[in-house]
Amino acid sequence: MKKILITGGAGFIGSHVVRLFVNNYPNYQIYNLDKLTYAGNLANLKDVEDKPNYHFIKADIVDGEQMQALFEDHQFDSVIHLAAESHVDRSIANPMEFIMANIVGTVNLLNAARHQWQGDFEGKRFYHISTDEVYGSLGHTGFFYETTPYDPHSPYSASKASSDHLVRAYHDTYNLPIVISNCSNNYGPNQFPEKLIPLIINNIRNEKPLPVYGKGLNVRDWLYVVDHARAIDVIFHQGGDGETYNIGGHNEWKNIDIVKLVCEIMDGKLGRADGTSEKLITFVKDRAGHDLRYAIDATKLQNELGWMPSLQFEEGIRKTIDWYLENQSWLDEVTSGNYLKYYEEQYQKR
Ligand code: NAD
Ligand code: TYD
């Protein structure tokens, strides 16, 4: 019997992690703690909300006293920490929210765990979920390894880098049992349509311009979100204490090629003539400090813990597009209200 606190479980990746743990480990009690920001959505977890081993706590990790009180009340023995502000463009517009949630929030959880566990670390684990963006930007060749020096460029990646350093510092200073993983770009169902792939899908369905930053030549390494959740399961259970694991899809794409692929698949699915959606592509002003290329070497995870991605990208992207087309009410819901204001602010000036 384990009592696991999963933070950010109502978000994109968190909801897939919560689902996997609730379904695969009925003997664990899973506590999903989430502030329900614009990115958090309990509709993502409808299928597990009535399970006896699932519990939801609405709380803000920036409130340190509340984190301490929750640890005292529930006696969590493990943490899988995903809660974060996660969108680079928002971090450029509002860095302080990222400093608070990603840095202060992480330290509050570290303090609460340390205080509650009191040096008795048997069966305890603090698992911090991070990103490959902490490593900075690659040129046209090479990969990020676990040993690659940190070199973040956006307020988002700098805040994640900072939280990674603090998690390691609590391990080295207080022996807190920690593990960290740094994953490449995720895609799949339930991703908020501010990120590239769901934004493009949503705009194609609405026949709106498809904003491509710069020349669309930046490269990302895409992983299907359920494969990330599977990696988190493996690392949580088998990862070494104090270790870092890179997670990636060996699946590099230029942004423009992804956008064209999504256009082509959606034209087919929506019964539009070939080439219809591509006409919506609009090159817009580049993102400030835009990292050119991310690419993960996930050999350590594969060799030591036996994890590999299970889905090919062609299959994953089709599954993802199908999900959004079958769940248009989810898209309608999250793109009403504040999303319109956000969209106008981000894209009108580009
Ligand atoms: P997301 O924005 O979809 O979800 C974040 C969740 O955290 C939301 O449910 C939100 O309500 C919650 N949250 C935010 N601030 C909070 C606070 N102060 N207190 C409590 N809850 C709060 O993000 P995501 O894409 O699912 O990313 C999850 C984690 O994975 C993040 O730590 C992110 O850095 C990391 N990551 C993401 C990607 C990616 O491609 N999306 C890749 C690698 C790593
Ligand atoms: P994003 O999904 O925001 O992820 P990240 O910046 O964390 O990698 O963006 C993925 C890539 O797509 C990135 O190079 C920026 C680019 N992009 C666009 O070209 N247009 C858009 O509207 C968005 C949101 C992103």
Q: Is residue 257, in this structure, part of any structural domain at all? A: no
Q: Is residue 213, in this structure, part of any structural domain at all? A: no
User: Residue 1: which pLDDT band, with cuts at 50, 70 and 90?
Assistant: confident
Q: What is the pLDDT of residues 56-89, one digit of tens each?
A: 999 999 999 999 999 999 999 999 999 999 999 9
Q: Is residue 232, in this structure, part of any structural domain at all? A: yes
Three-state DSSP state, 86: coil
The mean per-residue pLDDT over the stretch 15-43 comes to 98
Three-state DSSP state, 180: strand
Per-residue confidence (pLDDT) for residue 232, from 0 to 100: 99
Q: Say which CATH number the domain at 152 has.
A: 3.40.50.720
Task: Report which bound ligand comes closest to the CA of 193.
Answer: 2
Range of the domain at 15: 3-187+221-251+294-314
How high does pLDDT run on average in the chain?
97
Q: Distance between CA atoms of 275 and 118, rounded to whole angstroms?
A: 62
- In the residue annotation, 133 being an active-site residue is answered as yes
Ligand 1 neighbours by CB, cut-off 6 Å: 7-8, 10-14, 34-37, 39-40, 60-62, 82-86, 101, 105, 129, 131, 160, 183, 185-186, 192
What is the reported pTM? 0.98
Report whether pLDDT(350) > 90: no
Q: Is residue 182, in this structure, part of any structural domain at all? A: yes
User: Residue 349: which pLDDT band, with cuts at 50, 70 and 90?
Assistant: confident
b (16+ CB within 10 A) / e for 130-168? bbbbbbbbbeeeebbebebebebbbbbbbbbbbbbebbb
Q: Is residue 284, in this structure, part of any structural domain at all? A: no
Q: Is residue 330, in this structure, part of any structural domain at all? A: no
The mean per-residue pLDDT over the stretch 254-269 comes to 98
Task: Report which bound ligand comes closest to the CA of 218.
Answer: 2
Question: Which residue would you say has higher pLDDT here, 340 or 350?
Answer: 340
Atom of ligand 1 nearest to the CA of 14: 26
Look at the chain and report how many structural domains it folds into.
Answer: 1
Q: What is the pLDDT of residues 181-229, one digit of tens each?
A: 999 999 999 999 999 999 999 999 999 999 999 999 999 999 999 999 9
Report whether pLDDT(320) > 90: yes
Q: Is residue 283, in this structure, part of any structural domain at all? A: no
The residues with which 43 forms a beta bridge, in sequence order, are none
The mean per-residue pLDDT over the stretch 249-271 comes to 97
The mean per-residue pLDDT over the stretch 330-342 comes to 94
Per-residue confidence (pLDDT) for residue 24, from 0 to 100: 98
User: Residue 291: which pLDDT band, with cuts at 50, 70 and 90?
Assistant: very high
Q: Is residue 58, in this structure, part of any structural domain at all? A: yes
- In the residue annotation, 73 being an active-site residue is answered as no
Ligand 2 neighbours by CB, cut-off 6 Å: 88, 185, 195-196, 199, 211-213, 218, 220, 255, 287
CB of 49 closer than 8 Å to CB of 89: no
